[in-house]
Amino acid sequence: MKVLQILPQLESGGVETGTVDLAAELVRRGHQAVVISAGGRLVEKLIAAGAGHITLPVHKKSLIHMAWCAFRVAKIISAEHVDIVHARSRVPAWISFLATRWSRAFFITTCHGYYSNHFFSSVMGWADRVIVISNIIGAHMVNDFKVAKEKIRLVYRGVDLQRFVFRGPLPQHKKEQVVGIIGRITPLKGHVHFLKALPNVFNEFPRCRAVIIGDAPPQRRNYRQELVDMVARLNMKHRVQFCGTCDNIPASLRGLDVVVMATTTEEAFGRVIIEAGAVGIPVVATAVGGIVEIIEDGREGLLVEPADPNALSQAIIRMLRERETAQRCVDNLRKKVEKTFTLQSLVEKTITVYEEGLRSRRILVIKLGALGDVVLISAALRALRKKFPDAVIDVLVREEYKDILQKCPDINNLVLLKQRSKTGVIETLLRLRRENYRMSVDFQNNAFSHALAWAAGVPERFGYRNKKLGFLLNRGIADTRDRCDPVTHQFRILGRLGIESTDRRLDLWIRDQDRENARALLAEHWHAKEQVLIGINAFASSRWKTKAWTPQGYAAVADALAQKLNARIVFTGTAQDAGAIDAIIVRSRCKPINAAGKTTVMELAALIRCCRVFISVDSAALHIAAAVRTPCVALFGPTDPLRHMPPAEHCVVLNKKISCAPCYRRECSQPKCMTQITADEVVDAVFRIMPKKGNEPVYENITDNHAS
């Protein structure tokens, strides 16, 4: 694989050293490694290790520079066929985020610091995977930036034990002691408190001296001068040495008797500590952030409270005086480094994250509604999961339809569009952008859904290109509008992903509580468990009046089935249908159950599952019947059954072939396509499809087209 790491500069420091070490190890293992930075002293070392380097001003916070760099990085990703883009700080993360929106590369961030909680820092949590270098940074990203726990991977920093060689037992009775602090000279590193602690140490050990290894970044030059002036005021110029940046940290460590880490804020990790542990140098550190994950006080080192020079001095004195304590801490820390904090462990765990990214995808399926259409995508979701078993598959759906997919085993999450208001759309869009989907499959196929996937920055967008904004689908296909059922229509989109329509069965996932509620509803209306139950869904959406059959037809069918089968009839529908169903029941002699508006969607599914046969017009209820495997009789008129009949294992379709059908009109003064269907035809279809009680039913998959 080809890995591109991006960080501001390659001057010095733990992040920079770790970047070079990882790149070198990737090359050694046969991968390709490239680093983008603004340059620095470590570039030569990086190139010597066999990795590549590209110089760009990715350290500048200017919006213009960031946009320009994002464009350049996107071109590099494409030209170099980069698989992984790994950003290691905030400006590079913004650049990488934008660049990977235009490419197929997998985006990873490593959180090396404890970031202030504002929008600029939030990009560190927007990656496909977020590597954290300590548990405290992981908790910080979850709690303060609301990063999903499943995106976070803990990878401790590591040290190369071939470079940082253990020096063995501590020397005894040294005439001169050397105490050192290593790291960038910034206020957060606690150099002031280290210097304030030194007079006490020097009083106890007159031949002790101190070294400050590391330099100040350009914007902190004045602070470094303040430290130099402070050393002069404390009359320690002859005993404190500012060594500047060091190229050979292992050699510098071997010259020390104690390493001090005096950080005053939440330290993300503490690379210097594990380097000291590898070489075998006693450590005194402040008990902040990730440091406590490396050192247990008194076991691997000594811990003190931050910004407490007196406590710091006493701990240094103890480590210099009690050589048995120091040796015990050295031995224990070396063992911990060997077990947990090696470069090999870092590389292996990082590569595992990379490989996980290459195996997995984040896929967004868009199906906002309506009810029956959401039921129809169950076969497509199953096929997607089979094709991409390791992918995160999320479905964007309107909130009122969430129950249909709540228990679907083939998806990971539901993303809910709570309202089509400007606020609701913006909230949804911001969440989609944070999730970094690599692919979208648009089964809604309208201008709004096309625009949403594009605005969310999804690199590959599949769907049918309609006349409105279809050009936004860069992996779209033309909709030929030929006659095929709705699931086959969906699988044509999936064909672009190499998915065949071998299994077109629909599914619904009914909870036990829904089943109990459905049975309770039937029991309230004196339905006995052993009695045959026939369901009738008389109406479709209120916008489709032409889909409804005649009230007298429904009443006649209900009476005939009740008489011939001793069956109980239950009418289903929405609360708006309840009055019209009451008008049908008045015409009937068998006292059917009116369940319209008395169930949730999933309780309706459970109720239909209880039916021996379900009779329905072209509606969401018909799709539910197909999904729960209830034999069904489907009445079609103004719509084409070849385009709208869901795949059903056991069904009879009643559809009159008349010259004006299918017309797709929602209003009609003489709907012959429906009125010419007779009650006898419906009853006959029920008997043809109904399983025989006490025997395993043998069904035919029947579609009847009765001529007028």
What CATH number should be reported for the domain holding residue 80?
A: 3.40.50.2000
At CB < 8 A and 24+ separation, what contacts does 626-633 make?
626/506, 626/651, 627/375, 627/378, 627/506, 627/507, 627/508, 628/508, 628/510, 630/535, 631/689, 631/690, 631/691, 631/697, 631/699, 632/689, 633/682, 633/685, 633/686, 633/689
Q: How confident is the model at residue 528 (pLDDT cuts 50, 70, 90)?
A: confident
Q: Is 696 domain-assigned?
A: no
Handedness of CA 651, 656, 660, 666 (dihedral sign): negative
Nearest in space to 392 (alpha carbons), one of 422, 446, 437, 456: 437
Q: What is the pLDDT of residue 475?
A: 87
First to last CA, the chain: 65
* DSSP string of 580-646, one letter each residue: HHHHHHHH-SS--EE-TTSS-HHHHHHHHHH-SEEEEESSHHHHHHHHTT--EEEEESSS-HHHHPP
Q: Is 350 domain-assigned?
A: no
- Domain that residue 436 falls in: 360-497
9 & 124 share domain: yes
Q: Is 447 domain-assigned?
A: yes
231-273 pLDDT tens trace: 999 999 999 999 988 878 899 999 999 999 999 988 888 889 9
Residue 286 has pLDDT above 70, yes or no: yes
Q: What is the pLDDT of residue 676?
A: 86
What is the spatial distance between Cα 45 and Cα 34, in angstroms, rounded to a whole number?
Answer: 13
529 & 491 share domain: no
Residue 171 has pLDDT above 90, yes or no: no
Residue 530 has pLDDT above 70, yes or no: yes
Structure-token pair, residue 518: 């459905």
Tell me the three state secondary structure of residue 237: coil
332-379 pLDDT tens trace: 999 999 999 999 999 999 999 998 888 777 899 999 988 989 999 999
Q: What is the pLDDT of residue 435?
A: 80
538 & 680 share domain: yes
67 & 101 share domain: yes
Q: What is the pLDDT of residue 175?
A: 83
pTM: 0.65
Q: Is 165 domain-assigned?
A: no
Sequence-ordered list of residues with C-beta below 8 angstroms from that of 592, at least 6 positions apart, any chain:
536, 558, 562, 568, 569, 570, 571, 584, 585
Which of 307, 340, 373 is at the close of a domain? 340
Question: Would residue 458 be called left, alpha or beta, if left means φ above 0 and alpha means ψ between -120 and 50 degrees?
Answer: beta
Q: Give the other-Cβ count within 10 Å of 431's Cβ.
A: 14
Q: What is the pLDDT of residue 693?
A: 57
Mean pLDDT (whole number) for 591-596: 92
Q: Is 40 domain-assigned?
A: yes
Bridge partners, 585 (sequence order): none
Cα-Cα-Cα-Cα dihedral of 62, 67, 73, 76, to 10°? -130
Rg (CA), the chain: 35
Cα-Cα-Cα-Cα dihedral of 95, 98, 102, 106, to 10°? 80
Q: 649 with 701: CB under 8 angstroms?
A: yes
Q: Is 254 domain-assigned?
A: yes
Q: 240 with 181: CB under 8 angstroms?
A: no
455 & 536 share domain: no
The DSSP code for 471 is G
562 & 470 share domain: no
What is the spatial distance between Cα 355 and Cα 275, in angstroms, rounded to a whole number?
Answer: 28
85-133 pLDDT tens trace: 999 999 999 999 999 877 778 899 999 888 888 899 999 999 989 999 9
Q: What is the pLDDT of residue 281?
A: 95
The DSSP code for 691 is P
Q: How confident is the model at residue 5 (pLDDT cuts 50, 70, 90)?
A: very high
Q: How confident is the model at residue 18 (pLDDT cuts 50, 70, 90)?
A: confident
522 & 392 share domain: no
Q: 535 with 614: CB under 8 angstroms?
A: yes
Which of 450, 468, 497 is at the close of a domain? 497
What is the spatial distance between Cα 33 and Cα 22, in angstroms, rounded to a whole number?
Answer: 9
Q: What is the pLDDT of residue 705?
A: 43
Q: What is the pLDDT of residue 692?
A: 67
Kind and range of the H or E element at 52?
A: strand 52-55
Q: What is the pLDDT of residue 193?
A: 96
Q: 184: exposed, middle or buried (C-beta count within 10 Å: 0-12, 13-18, 19+)?
A: middle
Mean pLDDT (whole number) for 673-680: 88
Q: Is 504 domain-assigned?
A: no
Q: Give the other-Cβ count within 10 Å of 542's Cβ.
A: 10
71 & 38 share domain: yes
Mean pLDDT (whole number) for 485-507: 89
Q: What is the pLDDT of residue 357?
A: 82
Q: How confident is the model at residue 706 (pLDDT cuts 50, 70, 90)?
A: very low
Residue 415 or residue 501, greater confidence: 415
394 & 492 share domain: yes
Which of 497, 526, 555 is at the close of a domain? 497
Cα-to-chain-centroid distance, residue 440: 13
Average pLDDT, the chain: 89
What is the spatial distance between Cα 357 and Cα 354, in angstroms, rounded to a whole number?
Answer: 5
Q: What is the pLDDT of residue 481?
A: 66
Q: Give the other-Cβ count within 10 Å of 71's Cβ.
A: 14
Residue 703 has pLDDT above 70, yes or no: no
197-244 pLDDT tens trace: 999 999 999 999 999 999 888 888 899 999 999 999 999 999 999 998
434-475 pLDDT tens trace: 787 888 999 998 999 999 999 988 888 999 987 778 889 988
139 & 199 share domain: no
Residue 329 has pLDDT above 90, yes or no: yes
Q: Is 703 domain-assigned?
A: no
Q: What is the pLDDT of residue 360?
A: 74
Q: What is the pLDDT of residue 204?
A: 94
Q: Indicate the pairing of strand 84-87 with strand 52-55.
A: unpaired
Residue 695 has pLDDT above 50, yes or no: no
Cα-Cα-Cα-Cα dihedral of 336, 340, 341, 346, to 10°? 170
Q: Give the other-Cβ count within 10 Å of 136's Cβ.
A: 20
Q: Give the other-Cβ count within 10 Å of 133's Cβ.
A: 25
Residue keyed to tokens 């005993």: 239
Structure-token pair, residue 461: 């967008």
Is the peptide bond preceding residue 662 cis, with omega within 30 degrees of 0? yes
469 & 531 share domain: no
Nearest in space to 446 (alpha carbons), one of 460, 467, 462, 426: 467
Q: How confident is the model at residue 78 (pLDDT cuts 50, 70, 90)?
A: confident
Q: What is the pLDDT of residue 479?
A: 84
- Please state the domain count of the chain: 4
Main-chain phi, psi angles of 465, to 5 degrees:
-80, 105
519 & 662 share domain: yes
Q: What is the pLDDT of residue 311?
A: 96
Q: What is the pLDDT of residue 670?
A: 78
Mean pLDDT (whole number) for 602-621: 93
19-58 pLDDT tens trace: 998 999 999 999 999 999 999 989 999 999 999 999 999 9
